[in-house]
Amino acid sequence: MDSLILLFAAMLRISTPILFASLGETLVERAGVLNLGIEGTLLLSAFSGFVAAQFTGSLWLGLVAAVLTGIALSLLMGLLTVTFGLSQHVCGLGITLLASGVALFAFRLIYGGASTPPALETSFVTLDILPGTAFAPLFSQHWLTYISLLCVPLVHWLLYRTAFGLRLRAVGEQPEAADTAGINVYKMRYLALILGGAFMGLAGAFLSLAQLGAFSHGIINGRGWVAIAIVIFGNWLPYRVLAGALLFGGVQALQLRLQAEGVPLPYELLLALPYILTIVAIAFVGRNASYPAALLKPYRRE
Amino acid sequence: MLKLRIERGSAPVWFRAIIPVIAVLITFILVSALVIVAGASPLSAFFELLINPLTKTTARADILMMATPILLTGIAVTVAFAAGYYNIGAEGQLYAGGIAAAWVGTQLQTESSVLMIPLMLIAGFIAGMLWALLPAILKVRLQVDEVVTTLLLNSVMLFLVSALLNGPWRDPVSGWPQSPTILAAAQFPVLIPRSRVHLGAIVAVIVALVIWWVMSRTRFGIEVRAVGKNRDAARFLGIPVGNRILMAALISGGIAGLAGVSEVGGIHYYMTSTLSSNFGYIGVIVATLGALTVPGAILSALFLALVNRGAISASRELDVPVYLGDVIQAALLLVGLATLLLNRYRIRRIR
Amino acid sequence: MPVLEMRGITKRFGALVANDQITFDIEAGEVHALLGENGAGKSTLMKILYGLYQPDEGEIHVQGQRVSLKSPADAIAQGIGFVSQHFALIPTFTVTENVILGHEKQPILQHAAMRRQVVETAEKLRFNIDPDAIVGHLSVGQQQRVEILKALYRGCRVLILDEPTAVLTPQDTEKLFSILVELQRQGLSVVIITHKLNEVFTISQRVTVLRLGKVVGREQTANTSQTELSQMMVGRQTIPVTRNTDHHSQNEIKLNVQNLTMADRSGAPRLRGLSLNVRAQEIVGVAGVAGNGQSELVSILTGMAQPQSGSAQVSGNVMPFGNPGALSQLKVARIPEDRLKGVIGDLSVADNLMLEQVGQFTRAGHLNRKQIREYAERLIRDFHIKAAPDDPARTLSGGNIQKIILARSLAQNPEVVIAAQPTRGLDIGATEYVHQKLLEQKQRGAAVLLISEDLDEILVLSDRVLVIFEGMIVGEFAANDADIDVLGALMTGASSEKVKTHA
């Protein structure tokens, strides 16, 4: 029982950055932009948050820096793909490479060739909601974890219950129709990118300011690509995206536990499972109704 | 008064010729900011980056060595993109080729390099093709977007490699997560004494030449390009569109696999999970900057290798972090793409 | 005072003048029909009114005030609603979501209130609609009603409908007209763009006729006749016909098409059992207003689409459908409707000239560049193509691109020529050239099927004229006997009895 609760606790913790990133990517893709820059955006956000926190001594300023970094890179993505109408996958990939390069460049500049990753003196604390009960470990999480969970209904509400969400989905489905309805397609796509970038910033910040309290080159380790997979797996629906993120987190937590207990198992194959599931899901579902129909297509009038 | 107006239309030829120069200039101006932050003068940094490596024999050899894998992945991406198939999976296909090469190189009991090396290349090519097969079939049969499937298979491949290297292939001697060393016969000969330029460079050049010939001089090549440029018209002309996309995707995967063979056989001599430094993704840069032509890919692979080698010089001489090379490569891609838009405009004088 | 007025509107697209000094006005509570052939400039004019295009000259006045309509949002604000032929609906959204999109009124959606409003508006117009239905699941007629609801929800006083019945079943058309009458009763104005004469008489009070971008007539509908309108619309000019008077009826049938049926993706029938044949040494012209099945017929006969049923033979051999490669084996020359889908702009002129017959220039997979170049030089010379073999095809003018397509297909001495809109958008010189080449093919003995929206072209070239309407051949004439008024009437769907009384 206890070990099960610990497993679930680890699942929630591991899921948090993936959930933030996937929610951000969901918003962006719902507006018709596939942001393959996510992997690099996560890395540079994690780094800038960490540096800002270390130099100012304020975790909060670190958080702000991470979010601003996510937004800035998303604006660059917007400039290239929304305004210039360049190919989304090539530009996304370029942004990932650029942001990673800048992060590693700055890391070397500030910390030299340090082999051990630097750590913050303090990192974001955990919040105990049910102390003293059997479930205490499960609800002893970073406050950002609770926020990430609250963001799921929030994003759902935003997409389905507000005029903003209606317009955002419209430009991702049929930008011509949205334009005819008097909606500024470019503006909506930029707004989606900004919001998505902020979520990606939070994901990066969680890793360097809360979960690890440190930065290393491999801190993201493919989590951006995981998010891309989860968004498809989750059919671009916030609650299904949550399920996907928890599945990923759960598999990871299980894998760590099995490894720690020395169970001989090719745990990498377990880790690859969600990717394979996603590919199978895409193959079966194809371009079904939930696929934002305008994804990857730049919008041009006439 | 002289009035100028920017309008849509093809840019004049002389302007199109200098667009790459403009892209390089803009990139370096942008990157100067980082150089200054690093406390170096941009001019001396650019000297180290672009000029200095060309003046030394060892550095020139390094450029060839560094250009080898990205020329192969660049050619791989060129073939796929030319068919309108956006293969982002060269990274995974490269590792597939590496696994095959390490397997042949450790298992085949022979002392003949003449037998061993061709078999490694063939095995690597086939492995890369196999890893490219699933997304290609999904694309042609079910119209499943290849960008995401090829991308995700890169991650799957990394786990697979890690599982292999931590499991059955863990080097029994060192205990490191790397395969046993390949046999001597499997190790690519060095081409230039006291350098790390290996047979892979020749393989890359031959592949580039063959692909250049195939794409420009054969029926298959022109049909692939027709499909990539205008799928509807290609179908109208009776070209089997699906088959050509499938073939281009598989050839692309195979060539990316060769890049893995070259790195295992020519550099590392064993399989490792750090076989590639983003070579598959850099292939996208090489192909895009090369305007999806083989000569363009050769030039951009050499240029990126020069920048990477230059970054090492710059970090040694000026203490600018070596990652400057990565930044320049990515910035070149984005700036290059954006400046290509200038092709579509011309400036006209109005009276 | 008219509700809305357009004065001196001119719109150019490059060299083409789509609207030339057009004046147009709409009174309160009227249904005003805008009549004209395809390409007459009707849709362009209405897109200007809806802010989708900007006029090069001219003014727009709403309620006497001059307005500038820079975008659909401006037009909506002026009370103008537009139902395009291609619905601007989002298929994955519900009816309610589609209706309110862009005009949500509050930042947080009040679903219940919105739903009620949608139902109430529909009820006012006497129809029912499920506000929660997913639009993609609705029939075309229902989707059109959603478009009308959208316009009304945005407070439109003038509703523009672009060829609203083109995609409707007769029942849906009736329903639509009853809605329009209801709108009119509530004081709204309606502009209906159409090329169907019977609709003009059924629904409108006034009619404006456009031809080649100009207003050629404006009448009270009650004071005009079908004949008068179809003459205005098609234009009346005498055409010098110099045609040999050979009798073709004995010649061998080279192209035989039987009972083709085809439906579009929404299931609406586009071809309804179409049959035709073309004999050796004969040009058969298919006349009709755009959208009556010509495109579908062309894509089937050029190998790009498969019919639901029917068959075709070329010189007695079965024509395989959906296999463009097999058609050149059967010696079918194809001139596609959209010439940009016939050439690959980024490849060279030489490559485009040889690609259809690439097998002839290949040995063991290797292209014989010398042979290709010689072949290209020969065709460039023979067909007067103004280009070098190595020029990218996209740098050529429309006329020269069309010459590439002609050269490529006609150089093979075809048995059958399928020519779809062969001179669309070409200048006079190039047009004459294409005509001459088609006549040459006929003299050679080929069977030529000419599908064109340009009636003059059909009359000049054809030995026999077929009229296509709503996916069927509704009339056949020997070209010498063809009366342009009767043709015009058949093309616009007037029944043959009416035609006879007028003729």
Amino acid residing at C174: E
Same domain, B115 and B34: no
Compute the half-sphere exposure of residue C328: CA atoms within 13 Å on the CB side of its CA: 20
Mean pLDDT of C176-194: 92
Check whether residue C263 and residue C178 sit in a common domain: no
User: Do both B31 and B74 map to the same domain?
Assistant: no
Q: How far is C92 from chain B (nearest CA, A)?
A: 20
Residue that has been written with the tokens 């619905």 in this structure: C87
Predicted pLDDT at C198? 83
* Confidence bin at C291 (pLDDT 50/70/90): confident
Q: C225-261, pLDDT tens digit by residue?
A: 888 887 888 775 544 445 555 556 778 999 999 999 9
CB contact under 8 A, B142 and A269: no
The top-scoring range by mean pLDDT among A9-23, C12-26, C124-138 is A9-23
Chains that touch B (3 or more CB pairs under 8 A): A, C
Mean pLDDT of A35-51: 97
Q: In chain B, what residues touch A34 (CB-CB under 8 Å)?
A: 147-148
Res C343 pLDDT > 50? yes
Number of domains in chain B: 2
Query: Cβ contacts (< 8 Å) between A90 and chain B: which residues?
Result: 284, 288, 333, 337
Residue B346 is predicted with a pLDDT of 65
What is residue B10's predicted lDDT score, i.e. its pLDDT? 66
The answer to whether C88 contacts A183, with C-beta atoms less than 8 Å apart, is: no
Whole-angstrom distance, CA of residue A227 vs CA of residue C148? 41
Tell me: domain A2-113+138-285, CATH 1.10.3470.10, correct?
A: yes
List the CATH number of the domain containing C16. 3.40.50.300
Instruction: Please check whether residues B23 and B72 belong to one and the same domain.
Output: no
Q: How many domains does chain C have?
A: 2
Mutate to test the interface with B, among C344, C370, C391 (most CBs of B within 10 A): C344
A178/C102 CB distance under 8 A: yes
Q: Are C279 and C248 in contact (CB under 8 A)?
A: yes
Q: Give the gap in angstroms from C-alpha C160 to the nearest C-alpha of chain A.
A: 14
Question: What is the CB neighbour count within 10 angstroms for residue A101?
Answer: 26
Neighbours of C236 (CB within 10 A): 10
pLDDT at C501: 39
Interface check C36 vs B, CB under 8 A: no
Residue B292: its pLDDT value, please? 92
Same domain, C170 and C88: yes
From the list B163, B321, B337, the residue facing A105 with the nearest CB is B321
Residues C186 and C285 in one domain: no
Asked if C81 has any chain A CB less than 8 Å from its own CB, the reply is no
**Do B161 and B208 share a structural domain?**
yes
Chain C residues inside the 8 Å CB shell of B292: none
Where does residue C411 rank: exposed (0-12), middle (13-18), buried (19+ CB within 10 A)? middle
Contact C92 A290 (CB under 8 A): yes
Indicate if C196 and C323 belong to the same structural domain: no
A75-115: pLDDT as tens digits: 999 999 999 999 999 999 999 999 999 999 999 999 887 76
pLDDT, position A1: 62
Beta-carbon separation of B219 and C359 below 8 A: yes
Is A173 in Cβ contact with C92 (below 8 Å)?
Answer: yes
Determine, yes or no, domain membership for C239.
no
pLDDT at C284 over 80: yes
Residue A264, exposed/middle/buried by CB under 10 A (0-12, 13-18, 19+)?
exposed
Compute the distance between CA of residue C87 and CA of residue C162 in angstroms, rounded to an integer.
10
SS (H, E, C) chain B: CCEEEEEECCCCHHHHHHHHHHHHHHHHHHHHHHHHHCCCCHHHHHHHHHHHHHHCHHHHHHHHHHHHHHHHHHHHHHHHHHCCCCCCCHHHHHHHHHHHHHHHHHHCCCCCHHHHHHHHHHHHHHHHHHHHHHHHHHHHHHCCCHHHHHHHHHHHHHHHHHHHHHCCCCCCCCCCCECCCCCHHHCCCECCCCCCCEHHHHHHHHHHHHHHHHHHHEHHHHHHHHHHHCHHHHHHCCCCHHHHHHHHHHHHHHHHHHHHHHHHHHHHCCCECCCCCCHHHHHHHHHHHCCCCHHHHHHHHHHHHHHHHHHHHHHHHHCCCCCHHHHHHHHHHHHHHHHHHHHHEEEEEEC
Structural domain includes residue B348: yes
Q: Is the pLDDT of residue C499 over 70?
A: no
Please indicate, yes or no, whether residues C318 and C207 belong to a single structural domain of this protein: no
B-chain CB neighbours of C340 within 8 Å are 230, 233
Residue from the list B10, B222, B226 with its beta carbon closest to the beta carbon of C367: B222
Give residue limits of the domains in chain A.
Answer: 2-113+138-285
Asked if B171 and B29 sit in the same domain, the reply is no
Hey, are the CB atoms on B219 and C340 less than 8 Å from each other?
A: no
Instruction: Note the pLDDT of residue C500.
Output: 43
pLDDT, average across residues C401-422 = 93
Q: Among partner residues C84, C90, C111, which is closest to A170 by beta-carbon distance?
A: C90
Residue B180 within any structural domain of the chain: yes
Domain that holds residue B106: 68-289
Look at strands C16-26 and B3-8 and give their pairing.
Answer: unpaired
B207, B306 contact by CB (below 8 A): no
Q: How would you class C81 by CB atoms within 10 Å of its CB: exposed for 0-12, middle for 13-18, buried for 19 or more?
A: buried
Question: Which of C234, C262, C292 delimits the end of a domain?
Answer: C234
Among C445, C474, C470, C450, smallest CA distance to C460 is for: C450
> d(Cα A114, Cα A111) in Å, to the nearest integer?
6
Integer-rounded Cα Rg, in Å, for chain C is: 25
Judgement on whether residues B115 and B259 belong to the same structural domain of the protein: yes
The answer on pLDDT for C385 being more than 70 is yes
**Cβ contact (<8 Å) for A182 and C82?**
no
Residues C224 and C257 in one domain: no
Predicted confidence (pLDDT) at residue A289 exceeds the cutoff of 70: no
Q: Is residue B320 part of a domain?
A: no
Whole-number average pLDDT of chain C = 88
Tell whether B215 and B73 lie within a shared domain.
yes
Residues C200 and C280 in one domain: no
Is residue C498 scored above 50 in pLDDT? no
CB C355 to CB B226 under 8 A? yes
Of B308, B79, B93, residue with least CA distance to B208: B79
Whether residues B323 and A101 touch (CB distance < 8 A) is answered with yes
Q: Is the pLDDT of residue A293 over 90?
A: no
Mean pLDDT in order along chain B per 10 residues (351 residues): 63 76 92 92 91 92 97 98 96 98 94 94 98 96 89 94 89 82 94 92 98 96 96 94 97 98 96 94 94 94 95 92 94 92 69 51
Contacts of B239 in chain C (CB under 8 A): 325, 355
The predicted pLDDT at position C236 comes to 55
B337 Cβ under 8 Å from any chain A Cβ: yes
Query: Does the CB of C101 have a partner CB in chain A at under 8 Å?
Result: yes
Q: Which residues of B touch A97 (CB under 8 A)?
A: 278, 281-282, 285, 326, 329-330, 333
Output the CA–CA distances (angstroms, integers) from residue B311 to B45, B66, B304, C155, in the order listed.
Answer: 9, 12, 10, 64
Structure-model confidence comparison of residues A130 and B7, the more confident one = A130
Residue C246, domain member (yes or no):
no
Instruction: Check whether residue C274 and residue C230 sit in a common domain.
Output: no
For residue C502, name the pLDDT band (cuts at 50, 70, 90).
very low
| Domain contains C69 | yes
Would you say C230 and C200 are in contact if contact means Cβ atoms under 8 Å apart? no
| Rounded average pLDDT over A165-183 | 92
pLDDT level of residue C340 (50, 70, 90 thresholds): confident
Question: Closest Cα partner for B71 from B207, B197, B173?
Answer: B207
For chains A and C, CB pairs below 8 A equal: 70
**CB pairs A-B closer than 8 Å:** 137
Q: pLDDT above 70 covers what percent of chain A?
A: 96
Three-state DSSP at A297 gives coil
- Looking at residue A135, what is its pLDDT? 77
Q: Are B160 and A268 in contact (CB < 8 Å)?
A: yes
CA angle A208/A210/A211 to nearest 5° reads 80
Q: Are residues B15 and B76 in the same domain?
A: no
CB contact under 8 A, A95 and B334: yes
Q: Provide the whole-model pTM.
A: 0.88
Q: Which of A162, A174, A177 has the CB atom closest to C107's CB atom?
A: A162
Residue C43 lies in domain: 4-234
- Give the per-residue pLDDT at C503: 36
Q: Please tell me whether residues C367 and C333 are part of one structural domain.
A: yes
B87 and B208 co-located in one domain: yes
Q: Do C356 and B237 touch (CB under 8 A)?
A: yes
Residues C153 and C204 in one domain: yes
List of E strands, C246-404: 253-263, 269-279, 282-287, 309-314, 317-318, 332-335, 362-363, 366-367
Yes or no, beta carbons of C84 and A180 under 8 Å apart: yes
Instruction: Note whether C194 and C330 are same-domain residues.
Output: no
Answer yes or no: do C172 and C308 share one domain: no
- For residue B285, which residues of chain A lie inside 8 Å, CB to CB? 94, 97
- Identity at C178, one-letter amino acid code: S
- Cβ separation of B238 and C356 shorter than 8 Å? yes
Same domain, B227 and B265: yes
